[in-house]
Each structure stands twice: as C-alpha cells, then as structure tokens.
Amino acid sequence: MMIDSSVTEIRGIGPKKAAALEKLGIRTVGDLLRFQPRTYEDRRNPVPISELEPGMPAFVRGVVISVVSDPRRYSRKRVLKVLAEDSSGRMEVVFFNAPFLARDFVKGEEYCFYGRPSANKGHIQMIHPEFSKAGGAREEIVPVYPLTAGITQYELRRLEREAAGLAADAEDFMPQDIISGNGLCSLQDALKNIHFPADMDALNAARYRLMYDEMFVLQTGLLMMRSGGEEGIEFAEDGTEKEYQSFLPYELTGAQKRVISEIAADMERPERMNRLVQGDVGSGKTAVAEAVLYKAVRNGFQGAFMAPTELLARQHFHTLTEDFKGHGVNVGILTGHLSAGEKQETLKALKAGEIDIMIGTHALIQPDVEFRKLGLVITDEQHRFGVDQRSRLGDKGRSPDVLVMTATPIPRTLAVIMYGDLDVSVLDELPPGRQKILTKAVTDKSRDLVYNFVRGQAAGGRQIYVTAPLIEDSEEIDARSAESIFAELSKKFPECRIALLHGQMSEQEKSSIMEDFSAGAYDILVATVVIEVGIDVPNATVMVIESAERFGLAQLHQLRGRVGRGKEQSYCILITNGEGQVAKDRARTMVESSDGFYIAEKDLELRGPGEFFGTRQHGIPDMQLTDMVKHMDIMEQVRGKALELFEDDPGLIREKNKGLRNRVEALFGEDINIHI
C-alpha cells in the first residue's frame, strides 16, 4: 500500500465504506492523513470519580463491582447498569437498548471509561461512554473527527492508525529553507502527530506546521494569480480623470480623489491593473468608476461595468447616462430581458465601437458579446462574482485593466487574505451633508409603537422599507415572513399604497416594483433581502428590519444603507426577538455605530470569518486549521515569507520550489492560470 493508494486497499473498506469516506473528501491514504480531527480527548490522566464534574468530559479508570441488566426481554427501553469504583468513590455507567454489552464486563476487572458525567439524585452517572479493558486501553490523546453516515469514530481512528504508518512516505513539498528558517517540524512528523500525538508539544508542533502550510500555499497561490498577465494597456498620463471631476456639480471627497489617483496611476503603467475598491454604503464608488471610465474612453477604449442584478445595472445606466450627458460618451445596457431585436442592435453597436461604456448583468459574459476595443472592466458588488466570471469578462479584450468594487466593508487584514490577488483601495470617508441614520433596536412588544411611527412618516409623504428574512411562513424557522407582514400591513394601513417584493419574482416584476417605488407609486415596500443591493430612493426614510436576529451584522448594515439617501432624517428600526448574547451584541453594535468598517470588525469578532467567506471567491481553497481571527498575525508573517520567496523565484521553477508549485496547482486547480 502506498500513500496515493485508494482507501479500498485498507482492510475492511468495501464499496459502502469507501462511498461514506468520499463524502468526507477521503479517497486515498494521503487524504486520510490530511483529514483533520475537529478536537481531541486527553485520556492520559484518569480523573478520580469523586472529582468528576457534571457536564465535563473525563477519562476514568474503575473496577466493575456489579452488572445489572434489565430482565424485561421485550421492553422497548431496556437498561444496562454497570457499577464501577476507584479508591475515591463509585460511578454508575448506563447503557440503553444495549443488553448485549453485559457480556463485555467482568466483575472485579478494571476498565477505562471516557464520557460526559451527569448527576442523578446525588449519584454520578456516565451514559453511553466509550469503554475498554484497562490492560488494552490506549491512555493517550485521542482524536475526534467530523463524521458522516456510515462511519463511526472507532472505525475512523482505526483507519487513521493504519494510514499513520505511511506518514513517513509523504513527500515534503515545502522548501527546506522555509522549514528550517521558521522552526517547522517535518511534514512526516506533522501528519503522524496531528492524529496520535505523544504529548501536547508534539500536537502543537504538528498543528503549527500544517497551519503554516495552509497559509503559505494560499498566499503563494494568490501571488501566482496576481503575477500572470503582466503585460497590459498603458493609458496616457493625460489627466482626463481629473478633467471629468471638474464637470461634476459637487466636490469629491478626499478619499474619492485619492482612490481615483491610485487607479489612474495603475492604468498608466504597462502592467495590467488588478484593484479592489471597497467603501462603506454611500461612500461614492460610482463617481470613482465614472472618472476612470472617462479616462478609458478618452484614450480610445471601451469600458464594461458589470452589476449582479438588473435593478443595480439599470440604476448605473441611468446615473452614467445622466452624468455623461454632453460629454460625448455613449452608454449602453445589456441585460437578460432585452427583446431579441434590442439585444441584436445593442451587440452590433458594441462591436462597431459605437457604445463607449456597456453596463450589464451576467449577460455581459455571454459568448456573443463582442467589444471593439475593451480597455477597462469594472465589477460592482464583486463578492457576488467568482474569479472565473471576472476572468470571462476580462477575456472580452486584450488584457484590459480590472477594477472590482464592493460596498461590504471588509477588515483590511481579511481583504489581504481574501483578495491577495488584488491591490486594495479604501473609500473611508462619506460625502459631506449625509446625516447619520438613527438606529433603534426594539422587541416585538413595541410593534404598535413602530407601526405608529411608520404611519406618521407615511402621512408626511415619506416612504418606508420593511424587510423580512423569509418569503413565506415556515414551521421550522421562528421568524416573520414578507408575505405575512404584507397581509398584516395591508389591513393596518388601508390608507397606504403597499407593495411586496421577493426573490421568487421575475426580474421584470422586481424591476417594475422597484422603479414604481422609486417614482413614489408606493408608500411602503415589504421585501426580503433582495433589496440589499437595490436602487437609490432619496424619499425613503425608514428601514424596519423584522426578525433582525436572523441577519448578520454586515447584512444589517447593507440594509440600513438603503435609507439616508436624501436630505431628510432617516431611521432604521430593528425588531428582534433574539435572546442570545450574539443577537444582543449585534443589535447594540448597530445602534452605537454607523461605521461599516467598525461593524465589519465586530462581525468578525462575533461570528468569525464565515460572514465574509460564505460567499468566498471560486478558486480559493478551504482552510481547515487556520482561524482568520486568532492567526492573523501569523498570516501576515507568512505572507511576508511567501513574498520573499516569490520575488526570488517568481515562477517557482527552481528545483527546491517545484514541490510547492505542484501543491499550489493541485489546490487551486485551473484557476491558478486565470490572471484577472
């Protein structure tokens, strides 16, 4: 058996067990070795029975003094009770519906038990613990693995023990100078000790080595992605981006001017631009996009501007058409809902170069879309697009510059990890005159007060959003739905014009409702998170978020950003029934702060990086051991080391680095060759 052998070569693994293991991502012996335990049980030092604490897992050694099996042969809940003692006291071990286990215990013999003790009428019990005879028990640090149907902990540990014998055959892909220079143990030792360590020092050394490998491969892969396609368009240093700023009827913020300068400097270099612009809600990303698109057009190139929804694409189309009026820039739009004739005419004009800036949805990356001379690609709300989609749009031209934008603030440290293939610009300043949105968190008991406030705002000619986490009521989820709220408000506010909007509607229906709401045809819009990325409605002053505990902080902040677009004071009301500490902390953060970057940091503290990595870019491998919050300082060190190695050998073609390159290519797949 070899390290790359199929797991079916291990004794006892037939087709069913192999299928179960495959669900865990285990196909080969090497996969087994790299499958990480989720936690460990320390069985080296038995806890005296008298010192057992209810609820705290413990390892116990005790002599069996009685074995009592339920005599009711046909009882539906037969109980086996084993009484064990050590020098400090006695413990009752209980098994339900397992009378056959009685033959595994012999009075007077010593046994080892591992489980979670509980108190029962003043006596200590352990229900369904793991057990074995003391002579044959392994008193060690025992791994606990994530499981799937068809595989038990016992079976997986047996398989890992067999695989551990081949750990010595694992080829170490990390360059030797990186291993020795950073105090890393060998890969062979790490793969053995991550499963069955002799002590905590060996376990910690193994975890650190494998975590370092994860980080190093990730950062090296991102550097390889970023290094490709170096030759790009060298735009002229003509100042046209500043010329466009002079046309605007308002003054840009210092942050907008700084970011425009950073982008323009990139565009003027011969290397292809790959830049991420992240800014809080309302920080003015569209004006930044317009300025650099104008530069591209004045240099004789076309621009592409891709948005995730037709609503947002249409908003950008209206905004750019209005702002470029009189400046000789022709703006077009391409979505999936153009008629066949409209689409044909649009594509014909685009190919002929008659359209300078094409705005659209995913329709832009279809094979029949051809640009005459594409020079700049911009994607908005980029977390909704993967690496492959961005690259397909970039392939419409000859190495066009690429700019991606997001209104979901990401802590800068995380941005470096998530988008290490991109340079990062931050819009950290809001335009003057924007009022703070007053935010209040209430419980369901205050609903009547909320409704009275909504009625007053509607009577004053203002518009209101009411957002719910569900489209329709669910027996499984305790949360209010958009449909039930719509029905309730329609009865409570007969004087108001109310609309319902949700994701199961067609794009045409959603666009029509949003455009009518924007035009003032409705007073209240009841919706799901489909409005998270929506169009600007300056007259909307209230955002009511139902079952707010069902949303993450980043999403709550995005929803709040739908109001506060006009001159009137705006409000956000969180109706929450969450009793948990996380729900309370989340509500408190929203009330106390309107700073998206601060909120992003708090979200990271409260929920970990899942909020950001839930929609992670296609092509970036999973991290099994690395905790992005706890290990950020190590990640930054690793990034520095990876950069040093990459600058010394950009293609990783030297013999000592070939193993690392193979590992990077194996994890990133074909995406390592997509340079965007």
Say if residue 12's pLDDT is above 70.
yes
End residue of a domain, out of 427, 446, 465: 427
Asked if residue 495 and residue 555 are part of one domain, the reply reads yes
Mean pLDDT lowest for which of 94-103, 421-430, 451-460? 421-430
The DSSP string of 376-421 is EEEESSGGGS-HHHHHHHHTTSSS-EEEEEESS---HHHHHHHTTT
CA-CA distance, 264 to 266, in Å (whole number)? 5
**Within 13 Å of residue 295, how many CA atoms lie on the same side as its CB?**
27
pLDDT at 616: 40
Is residue 16 within 8 Å of 165, Cβ to Cβ?
Answer: no
pLDDT digits (tens, 9 = 90+) for 322-339: 999 989 999 999 987 788
Tell whether 66 and 91 lie within a shared domain.
yes
- For residues 263 and 289, is the Cβ–Cβ distance under 8 A? no
Distance CA 52, CA 115 (A): 11
Q: Which residues contact 41 (CB under 8 A, 6 or more apart)?
A: 57, 59, 114, 141, 142, 144
CB of 139 closer than 8 Å to CB of 112? yes
Rounded CA gap, 199 and 560, in Å? 51
* Alpha-carbon span 219 to 93, nearest angstrom: 50
Report yes or no on 614 lying in a domain.
no
Looking at residue 120, its pLDDT comes to 85
Residue 419 pLDDT level (bands cut at 50, 70, 90): low
| pLDDT score, position 50 | 93
User: Is pTM beyond 0.75 here?
Assistant: no
Q: Compute the radius of gyration of the chain from its Cα atoms.
A: 31
For residue 499, report the phi and psi dihedrals to the nearest 5 degrees.
-125, 155
Query: Does residue 223 lie within any of the structural domains?
Result: yes
| Averaged pLDDT, 445-449 | 92
State residue 612's pLDDT score: 47
- Taking each helix axis from N to C end, the angle separating 254-267 and 285-298, rounded to the nearest 10 degrees, works out to 30
Residue 62 has pLDDT above 80, yes or no: yes
What's the CATH number where 546 sits?
A: 3.40.50.300
Query: Residue 420 — pLDDT band, cuts 50, 70, 90?
Result: low
Q: Are residues 11 and 52 in the same domain?
A: no
Is residue 529 a contact partner of residue 555, using CB atoms and an 8 Å limit? yes
Of the residues 427, 450, 480, which one is the last residue of a structural domain? 427
Highest mean pLDDT among 17-31, 425-439, 485-499 belongs to 485-499
Could you give the 3-state DSSP secondary structure of residue 234? coil
pLDDT beyond 70 at 615: no
Q: CB of 519 within 8 A of CB of 318?
A: no
Taking the C-alpha atoms of residue 403 and residue 305, their distance in angstroms, rounded to an integer, is 9
* Within-domain flag for 609: no
Q: Do 273 and 382 lie in a common domain? A: yes
Q: Cα–chain-centroid distance for residue 278? A: 16
Q: Which of the given ranges, 57-66, 215-224, 229-238, 408-417, has the highest pLDDT on average?
A: 57-66
Burial letters 310-328, b for 16+ CB under 10 A, else e: bbbbbbbbbbbbebbeeee
pLDDT at position 185 over 80: yes
Mean pLDDT of 307-328: 89
- Residue 266 phi/psi, 5-degree rounding, is -65, -45
Q: Phi and psi for 135 in degrees, rounded to 5?
A: -65, -35
Cα–Cα distance, 626 to 636 (Å, whole number): 13
What's residue 218's pLDDT? Answer: 82
Q: How far apart are CA 318 and CA 312, in angstroms?
A: 10
H or E stretch at 481: none
Mean predicted lDDT score pLDDT of the chain: 85
DSSP state letter for 667: H
Same domain, 111 and 155: no
Task: Find residue 111's DSSP bridge partners.
Answer: 62, 133
Report the C-alpha gap between 395 and 442 in whole angstroms: 50
Length in residues, the chain: 676
Q: Looking at the structure, do residues 1 and 119 belong to the same domain, yes or no?
A: no
Give pLDDT, residue 263: 95
Q: Which helix (H) or strand (E) holds 164?
A: helix 153-164
* d(C-alpha 430, C-alpha 428), whole Å: 7
User: Is residue 451 a part of any domain in this protein?
Assistant: yes
pLDDT tens digit sequence for 623-635: 666 666 667 778 8
pLDDT at 274: 82
- For the record, the structure tokens of 11 come out as 């004794």
Residue 232 in domain: no
Domain count within the chain:
5
Do 245 and 331 sit in the same domain of this protein? yes
H-only helix segments in 228-352: 240-247, 254-267, 285-298, 310-323, 340-351
pLDDT band at 214 (very low <50, low <70, confident <90, very high): confident
- pLDDT band, very low/low/confident/very high, at 449 (cuts 50, 70, 90): very high
Residue 521 domain flag: yes
Six token digits for residue 387? 């690496």
The answer to whether residue 235 is domain-embedded is no
Query: Whose CA is closest to 416, among 426, 428, 429?
Result: 426
Neighbours of 236 (CB within 10 A): 12
Please tell me whether residues 244 and 299 are part of one structural domain: yes
Write out the H or E segment, with its range, that includes residue 59. strand 58-69
Segment 183-203 shows an average pLDDT of 93
Q: Which domain holds residue 514?
A: 438-593
The confidence score (pLDDT) of residue 417 equals 59
Q: What is the CATH number of the domain that holds 123?
A: 2.40.50.140
Last residue of a domain, one of 406, 427, 448: 427
pLDDT digits (tens, 9 = 90+) for 125-176: 999 998 888 865 566 888 989 888 888 888 899 899 888 888 888 889 999 9
Query: Do 495 and 571 fall within a single domain?
Result: yes
* Closest alpha carbon to 105 in 62, 75, 60, 158: 62
* Same domain as 296, residue 223: no
pLDDT tens column, 508-534 = 788 889 889 989 999 999 998 877 666
| pLDDT, average across residues 492-500 | 95
Q: How far apart are CA 151 and CA 144, in angstroms?
A: 13
Q: What is the pLDDT of residue 399?
A: 84
Residues 636 and 658 in one domain: yes
**374-387 per-residue burial string, b: 16 or more CB within 10 A, e: under 16:** bbbbbbbbbbbbbb
Cβ-Cβ contacts under 8 Å for 545 (sequence gap 6 or more): 467, 551, 556, 559, 560, 572, 573, 574, 575
Structure confidence at residue 624 (pLDDT): 64
Q: What is the pLDDT of residue 48?
A: 95
- Whether 651 is in a domain gets the answer yes
Residues 287, 390: one domain?
Answer: yes
